[in-house]
Structures are given as C-alpha cells and as structure tokens.
A and B are shown apart, each in its own frame.
Chain A
C-alpha cells in the first residue's frame, strides 16, 4: 500500500516538475523576446526560474531516490559477496535516514523562521518559506524512503538494482 502511494506520489511530483520546468524555459525565452522586441522584461522571471530549479533539485531528488538512480561509484562494492553488500546497504540506508532526517530538522527550522518573519523574495514576492521548505520536504521524503527500504531489507526483501552514470 505504502509502495503504491509513493509510486503515485513520485510520478505526480515528476509530472508537476516537468510542467514547471517547461514554464521556466518559457519565462526565460519570453524575457529574451521582450528585451529585444519590446524593450521590457519581466523582473520577477529570474527569481521564479531559480525557485523552479530549487524545487526540481530537492523534490526531484526524491523521485531519483525512489527509483534508485542517485549517482554513486559502485565498482568496488559490486565486486563484494552478496552478504557483505547487504550489510553495506543496511549501513547506507541507516546513514540516509539519519542524514536526511538531520537536514529535514535543520531546514524545517529555517523555513519556519522564514514563515514567522513573513519574508518574501525581492522581485516576485514569493514567500521564502516555500523554496526553503522544498529542501525540508525533499530530504524528509528521502528519509521516509530510506526508512521504508531499511525495513524491507531487514525483513529479508532486497533487490540490488542501483544505477549509475549521467551520460554527460
């Protein structure tokens, strides 16, 4: 059940980010057109594009985590026996839970402060707790995914399917 919910949630995040990214491309393009054809630009466009990139980074990272596609150097570990790899995977997942939880706590505190003081961005007037909150939400979801995987592996269910490489 939880797996199905996360599958739908990550698919939804991916689609929303894809449309938001297309909007960022359009904003940038319209600003170039506006500058040369009308001598005017949308001053808030740069800020909005950066915030979209922030969401793509931290929320997109949860989709990448769910699909086991975070970049890693697994040449050495792949040469180890299965039992050793399983043990390393347990340590890795525990580290992800602790570290992502640490960032979640840290970023939530920061985003909350932004909310309390009512800080908004200079040009677009976007409440700053939103982009800062994206860091907390992203790492929070990664901690949750790590927890889920840790429980799975401890229960004896484990598929060793990591992917590496960017192709760039």
Chain B
C-alpha cells in the first residue's frame, strides 16, 4: 500500500505528470491492486468531493476578481492610496504596498496583482529614481499579500480539505495580512530614507477626496464581502456571488469599461481556472479518503509521538517542508496534496487548525515569489519585461521580511487567532 500511496505519487509528481493524474494513478493502483473495495467507490468519491456548496465560493470569488481586474480599478486604487499617503519618504513604494493590500481584499489572485499593480507602479518608481532591483523585487513580492488577506482562494481550498470554517479562516487572515503590509511599508520607508529617495507630493485634501470619489466603488467590494460575512448577512459563497454581481454592475454600468462580451469572457476564464483546480480537488478527495481508510495519518501520528518531538519542532519542520514545496508547486495543489496528511498531525499536537491554515497560507504565499521558481517572478518577468537577475537580487530583503512575519505568525498564534476572535466576537 505504501507503494500506491507513497511511491507512485512522488515519482509521477517528479516526472511532471498533471497533478490530478498523479492522484488518480495513486488511488487507482491502490483500489485495483491492494484493496478489497468496490471500484464504484472511485466514482462516488470523485463526484462527492465536488458535490459541496461551499466550493462554489472559489469560482464566484475568482469571477469577481477577474471582472474587477479588468479596466481602471487598479489605477483608481493607486490614486486613492497615493492621495492618502502624501509626502512620506518612499511614498510610491508605500503606495505599491497599500494598493496591493486593498487589491488583495478585492481579488485574491496574486499573479493578477503583480501584473496590474506592477504595470502601474514599476515604471512610476523607476521614474522617481528607485533602483531597478528594488522596484522589481517589491512589485514581485508584494502580490503574495493577496492570498493572505481575505477573500483568499487558498483559504477556501484549505477549509474544504481540512473541514475548517472559511469565515474563521478569513477572520484569522486579516491581522497577519495587515501586519505583513505594515512591515513591508516600514522597510520601504527605511530604504527610501537610506537611499535619499525624495518624498512624494504633500497631502492635499481636495485631491484625496477626488481620488476617494473615483475609487469608492472599487473600495466598496471588501465592505460587501467582509461586512456581509461577519455581519451575518451572507454565507461566504453568497458573499462571493454578490461580489460578482457587484463587480459586473460597477465595471459595466458605473465605470462603463466592460461590455457584455467582456463579462462572458471573464466567465470563460473563470470556468477554466475552476476546472484546473476542482479536478484536483475531486481526485484529492479520493486520495484523502484512501489515506483515512488505510489509517495512514494515524500511523504517522503514532510514529511522530514515538519520536517525542514537540509542537514547536513540528511546526518548524512543517514550515521548512512547505517552503520547499511552495517553491515548486502552486499553493492550491500543495494544499490539496498535503492537508490530508498534515491536519491529523496538527490536531494530535493540539495546534488550532485555523492557526495552521494561516501558517500554510503564508508559507505558500512566500513560495509564490521565492527564487528560483516562484510563479510571480515569471509573471513580473513577462509582464514588466524585467531581467531575472534583477528580480532575484531585489526579492531578497522582501523574502527576509516575509520569513520574519512567518516566524511571528507561526509561534504567536494570537496574531491570527486574536484577530479571528475579535472579528467573530468570540471570547
């Protein structure tokens, strides 16, 4: 059995097979050659894994982000943040961080953030005298905040895989996301001061109000999503659908930038993205079921307990594993492959599964821009025409900041759980 559930997936993954085929091969070999189960269990679990209302939040949020990412939403957000930042040192870099954080509360798709915010802010920073490697590193690294700040697609997938509540995960992601944004903002301000980069234009109330008026419709989206969920008005799936309708209304009728064809086109993009992810969810569901019926997680828990390692050591080990995995696999695939194995261990160590969900998300967010293969590196390279050498050099300080934040989030659960309790009104 260890051949089917251990050797087969690792070998096929390394050979570059599609991830859903890796999982399907593993479960088919186990079912046909090693188990005495009705083969119909394969179909029942494939279908049953997708037959879940909560998973609808994935395509709905992707669609809302896809609609808002087209047109001038990013520019409106940049103008709003820049108007509020005023004349602090490194105002353009701070604007990049702030805009990405707000974009994260609208879209939650990291690559879209790097592409749309990067296109606006990278040339502006270069014109203002920021070194190439710094501007390249910042726009590449800052997009990772998007999957930490709700709405976050990886958190929905983790919630489905770990059977954890999405509203709790979203609430737990708010403070780590803000903390990370503040840490990045503090660093870029320090960098600007140290390198003699001038301050931006002084704060002007009229300009700020004008920018706010232009951006108010885009800024309304996070209020609808988070306000709707935590005000008890909608479930996360309903909030995502309402956000989609809001995004279609704003981009079609308020900004008058999208036609009906664009709205259908965005739906087609969403369909393909959904199929890419949910086919893995379906196969991972069967894989997870097989792990459980063969008591694999229980055996690993027993093995770890025999080694007598502490929760502290366990989290450190998991962080290292996730960072390495995140360098090679996209966050959603990594979550689907590892969560069924890790969550039983997490529970055995008495670690909160919501806290662990945030640790997983931050780890895999780092993987999005971690050299050498982080996906956002290649997005920045292709969209902004940057050299890899320049991006790699520029990323390092931001990588260090993310790692410090990861350490804090991992070992101070109150950062994620405190925010969650506050937002949910728990004691």
Contacts and interface: CB of A to CB of B under 8 A. Distances in A.
Given A60-B271, A60-B275, A72-B17, A50 B51 contact: yes
Interface string B348-379: 00000000000000000000000001010011
Nearest to B270: A21
A109 B39 CA distance: 11
Interface stretch (B166-174, B278-286, B291-299): B278-286
Interface in B134-187: 147, 153-154
B109 interface: yes
The SS class assigned to the A binding surface is helix
Contact of B51 (A54, A71, A91): A54
A56 B59 contact: yes
A76 interface: yes
The SS class assigned to the B binding surface is helix
A166 B276 contact: yes
Contact of A56 (B42, B44, B234, B278): B278
B244 A96 contact: no
Contact of B241 (A17, A18, A28): A28
B201 to A, nearest CB: 33
A110 interface: yes
Contacts of B108: 168
A50 B379 CA distance: 33
Please tell me the size bucket of the interface on A.
35 or more
Interface in A73-97: 73-78, 88, 91-92, 95-96
Given A70-B19, A168-B111, 15 more contacts: A21-B63, A31-B238, A46-B53, A61-B279, A64-B272, A71-B276, A71-B277, A75-B373, A76-B15, A78-B16, A92-B17, A103-B43, A164-B330, A165-B330, A168-B331
Interface of B: 12-21, 24-25, 28, 39-40, 42-44, 46-47, 50-53, 55-56, 59-60, 62-63, 108-112, 147, 153-154, 234, 237-238, 241-242, 244-245, 263-265, 267-268, 270-282, 328-333, 373, 375, 378-379
